[in-house]
């Protein structure tokens, strides 16, 4: 009987500790994402319009396919897609963990060991999706940045992916309009998909939160369409 009570007490203690840990994580994420980087930044009246996208878990940066600053068709050719013939106008770039991206197309398929492995360090991939004239909605929010900021954003992303060569590995995406490419970055709890989005924006001089492990911490810095 004493042993049974000890086991029950241990289970209760573990459950309480897990609940406190989860609560502390979400609280710190809310606080960290509310502290701005580039706090004096203001959206210019004219410039390059990008978009931030989310599925409520994951975020990405959507950019025009071709601008005077950069032509993404060289690095992200439509020929890599299952459907290369659509009149694509925009490209979305996001970061994630290899096993999660390639082997768990839906959240319900993520196993505990995969999630733990990703949290403590996994190989990264970039997810590239091509769009045709994406419209601003709550999950696709427009943001205007200066031409120099956009040029910086381009440089940051270009430096994170191997050049398009016959030897570059291309991994199938979730549909006919997206693929994955290798990146030298490592995924871990301090460098998640959403942290990658805010780090990339901040490095280009754009206002965003300090620590944004949750998608809402990224999206709250961009107003939804009126």
The pLDDT, as a whole number, for residue 163 is: 84
Give the residue extent of every domain in the chain: 35-219
Q: Would you write out the chain's pLDDT as a tens digit for each of its 226 residues?
A: 565 556 555 565 666 655 555 556 667 677 888 999 999 999 999 999 999 999 999 999 999 999 999 999 999 999 999 999 999 999 999 999 998 888 865 554 454 444 444 455 578 999 999 999 999 999 999 999 999 999 999 999 999 998 888 889 999 999 999 999 999 999 998 899 999 999 999 999 999 999 999 999 999 999 999 8
- In this structure, the number of other CB atoms found within 10 A of the CB of residue 40 comes to 6
């Amino acid at each position: 009987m004493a042993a049974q009570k000890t086991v029950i007490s241990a289970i209760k203690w573990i459950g309480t500790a897990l609940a406190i840990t989860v609560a502390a994580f979400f609280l710190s994420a809310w606080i960290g994402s509310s502290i701005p980087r580039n706090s004096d930044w203001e959206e210019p009246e004219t410039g390059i319009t990008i978009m931030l996208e989310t599925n409520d878990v994951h975020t990405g940066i959507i950019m025009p396919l071709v601008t005077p600053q950069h032509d993404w068709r060289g690095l992200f050719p439509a020929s890599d897609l299952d459907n290369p013939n659509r009149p694509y106008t925009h490209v979305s770039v996001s970061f994630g963990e290899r096993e999660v991206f390639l082997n768990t197309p839906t959240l319900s398929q993520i196993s505990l060991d995969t999630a733990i492995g990703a949290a403590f360090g996994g190989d990264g991939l970039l997810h590239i999706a091509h769009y045709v004239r994406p419209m601003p909605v709550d999950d696709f929010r427009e943001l205007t940045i200066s031409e120099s900021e956009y040029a910086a954003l381009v440089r940051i992303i270009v430096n994170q992916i191997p050049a398009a060569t016959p030897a570059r590995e291309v991994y199938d995406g979730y549909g006919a309009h997206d693929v994955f490419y290798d990146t030298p970055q490592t995924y871990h709890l301090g460098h998640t998909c959403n942290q990658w989005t805010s780090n990339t924006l901040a490095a280009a001089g754009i206002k965003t939160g300090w620590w944004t492990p949750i998608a809402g911490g990224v999206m709250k810095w961009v107003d939804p369409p009126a």
